[in-house]
Amino acid sequence: MSALLRRLGWSVVILFGVTLLTFVIAFIVPSDPARTLAGPKADRETIASIRHELGLDQPVPLQYVRYLGRLARGDLGRSYLTRQGVLDAIVERLPATAFLAIVSLALAAVAGVGLGCASALRQGSALDMTVLAGSLVALSVPTFWIGMLLLYVFAYRLGWFPLGGIGLVNVVLPAGALALGNAASYARLLHTNLRSVLGEDYIRTAHAKGLSAARVYGKHALRNALIPLVTLLGLDLAGLMSGVVLTETVFNWPGLGRLAVEAVFNQDIPMIMGTVLFSAVLVVAANIVVDFLYVAIDPRIRSARQ
């Protein structure tokens, strides 16, 4: 328990570090937010007055403190482009990305676990070799390129999937493109873990005790091999919130990733800072949750504590 509390404490420190880094990034960027807000046809006076309105003519540390204050109130500022509240915009787009991320992870988990187990149980076979080499190739493919190809072949040429929209059918292609890399790494992880677990003493003991193969593999081996995967899934889910950027661009998916990229290209500093901060907070939260989960499901840690 004390270890977990210490982790929580460090997480708070990390969160502060994240806000500081976000603020610094927005600051050292060589573009003038007042000019961006004013637009191409504005004159110097308008720009100067805008700068004053935004408080950009105040000393930097003071601006950081004011920024922290606003964060504490939940005010992430307003987009330079649309004047919409940043937090509102993020919350509006979040479900689409979450949907894509969850479906993609589910696909990756099913495929990865399936292939990983199959190859671990049949070591040295052709399947094993294919899975291992194939997973390396799958990890090497740029997600956006696979997305482009899938879109062209399955949506445009074959017409099996629609070319836009955000329904259950529409999520298949982008989720598939995203899932490829993750499935490959899960397969490799399962393969390695299962192989080492299968060599452990307690597996041989279970065999010797006469337990059926299904019970041995299912209850003992798989469960232990899956534990690291569960934690990885949690972290990947948080990480996917930002990893979807390119996929959402290719498929025109109206989620957080597209919001962030549009903000970058529009030099919309508050939106950039907001989305970056939001993703970082999500990752820190996921780390904490995963730590709790790990303690809860790993019997070795639990029994060690008792």
For the segment 143-202, give every residue that binds other proteins (CB under 8 A): 144-145, 148-149, 152, 156, 159-164, 166, 168-169, 172
> DSSP E strands: which ranges in 195-268?
none
Among 25, 60, 68, 301, binds other proteins (CB under 8 A): 25
Taking the CB of residue 28, how many other CB atoms lie within 10 A of it?
7
**Residue 303 beta carbon to other proteins: minimum distance, rounded to whole angstroms:** 26
Q: Which residues in 86-145 contact other proteins (CB under 8 A)?
A: 89, 92-93, 96, 110-111, 113-114, 117-118, 124, 129, 133, 136-137, 139-142, 144-145
The Cα 53–Cα 280 span in angstroms is 29
User: In which element (H, E) is residue 184 found?
Assistant: helix 172-198
Which CB atom, from 220 or from 258, has the smaller least distance to other proteins? 258
Among 4, 9, 12, 49, binds other proteins (CB under 8 A): 49
The Cα 69–Cα 170 span in angstroms is 41
Q: Which residues in 280-299 contact other proteins (CB under 8 A)?
A: 280, 283-284, 287
Q: Of 65-73, 203-211, 267-275, 289-297, which segment contacts other proteins by CB under 8 A?
A: 267-275
What's the start-to-end Cα distance of the chain, in Å? 12
Query: b or e along 147-170 (b: 16 or more beta carbons within 10 Å of the residue's beta carbon)?
Result: beebbeeebeeeeebeeeebeeeb
Among 261, 288, 289, 295, binds other proteins (CB under 8 A): 261
Q: Which residues in 5-24 contact other proteins (CB under 8 A)?
A: 10, 13-14, 17-18, 21
What DSSP string runs through 123-184? TTSHHHHHHHHHHHHHHHS-HHHHHHHHIIIIIIIS-SS-SS--STTTTHHHHHHHHHHHHH
Among 119, 182, 185, 279, binds other proteins (CB under 8 A): 279
Map tokens 């190809």 to a residue: 149
**Is residue 245 a contact point for other proteins (CB under 8 A)?**
yes
**Is residue 225 a contact point for other proteins (CB under 8 A)?**
no
In degrees, rounded to 5, the angle at the alpha carbon of residue 27 between the alpha carbons of residues 21 and 32 is 155
**Is residue 264 a contact point for other proteins (CB under 8 A)?**
yes
The Cα 234–Cα 282 span in angstroms is 11
Q: Of 59-67, 204-212, 274-282, 297-305, which segment contacts other proteins by CB under 8 A?
A: 274-282
Among 39, 61, 74, 210, binds other proteins (CB under 8 A): 39
Residue 59 half-sphere exposure toward CB, CA atoms < 13 A: 3
Among 2, 31, 303, 306, binds other proteins (CB under 8 A): 31
